Structure 1
Amino acid sequence: MAASSRQAILDSIGAATGSDPKTYTDLPRNYLQRGALEKAGRLHLMIERLREYGAEIVESSPADLPATIARQLQSSGRHTFAAPPELPAEWLETPFAWKTDHGLSHHEIESCDGVVTAAFAGVADCGTIVLHHSPREGRRVLTLLPDFHLCILRSTQIVETLPEYFARCPQPPRLATYVSGPSATADIEMTRIKGVHGPRFLSVILVHDDL
């Protein structure tokens, strides 16, 4: 919501109630804004949360990343993968079939066995991967339709708390997806069903890029 729209709403509330509502920047922020964990603690917590949610996670150095990606894709038993348009070429290893998203149709995306993307950030406290859908992260539809998602997350992208993630955003993203494990819900008759809102399988490669 634009600042002018927000202020218009606050002004309307003030006129209706006779109060003087504060602007967004004036609101008190008494919640925890920064975590206390050191780097090793943040990474350990992120890995622990992801595994609790049922995601597969492996660690890699930057130099070993292409080989690690290839191993993860091979172990998945899948063969055809979608890729965002600016995913590094060295990540796109053979013998897999790749469909680069230069306007793929929904049917073409859904026919892929999985998708490989980068990420914008990781929030350790809640084990959440954040996608801002840049050309390396892919369109939202690209990360929702395939059954398997391999996400590359760098250690320097991981923060402890949500406020720290928001502090890294120079401006609010136009679109963001928050991924906390593989897609699943128990809303239907309290029965856990996987894959309702996105991929049933999430694999994460944590790249130690700050060594």
Structure 2
Amino acid sequence: MKATKSLLGITTGVFLLLTASNGAISNASNLTNTENKNAIQSSSEIRVAAARVNNPAPNFVAADTNGKTHRLTDFKGKVVVLEWTNHDCPFVRKHYGSGNMQKLQKELTGKGAVWISIISSAPGMQGYVSASQANELTKSRNAAPTAVILDPEGKIGKQYGARTTPHIFVIGKDGNVGYMGAIDSIASPDPADIPKADNYVRDAVNSLISGKPVANSVTQPYGCSVKYGS
């Protein structure tokens, strides 16, 4: 499988994400200059993904924001969604502000899937929060993840090669990665695009629950870069 190539370009007040595989362009010209600055990191900080579709998902052991320890291997036999998030990212705000992410969380966990939100923002970087702040965000947004894990050292994010917020990985009942990429097919920060987009995550989870192949197992993630530390 050939790796999808992408080119990130920055112009004043404009954030463009060009996906070479399908020519899709996301124009975030409605963002402020500060948001644009926070939305991009040096490509040298993007790590090569360790996660590979149809291969075992990298295991991790981490405590959630309520102090409960989770091991990925504990969820074998269930479909698991890993969602990289950053509440200050306009692309994340698109899905949470509209209620789309919360709806998806409730729908899929209602079908037996496990949903883990992961925050890999380093201290002092955009999106960094304490455990109590993360819990308040979950409550105030009426979000419904199974757990929220803080990853300020970026260990889990780098294990998976998480590049953007959101960036989503779906793990099948067999413990193998079944899907990795974007939440949906329209790479923009505009909530009006949500009803028009194909939701890759919903499709992947439904396929894996029913034991069917995932039609689009790898897609180009879009959003703000994960704010890893040095």
Q: TM-score, normalised by structure 2?
A: 0.24
Q: TM-score, normalised by structure 1?
A: 0.25
Q: Which has the larger radius of gyration?
A: 1
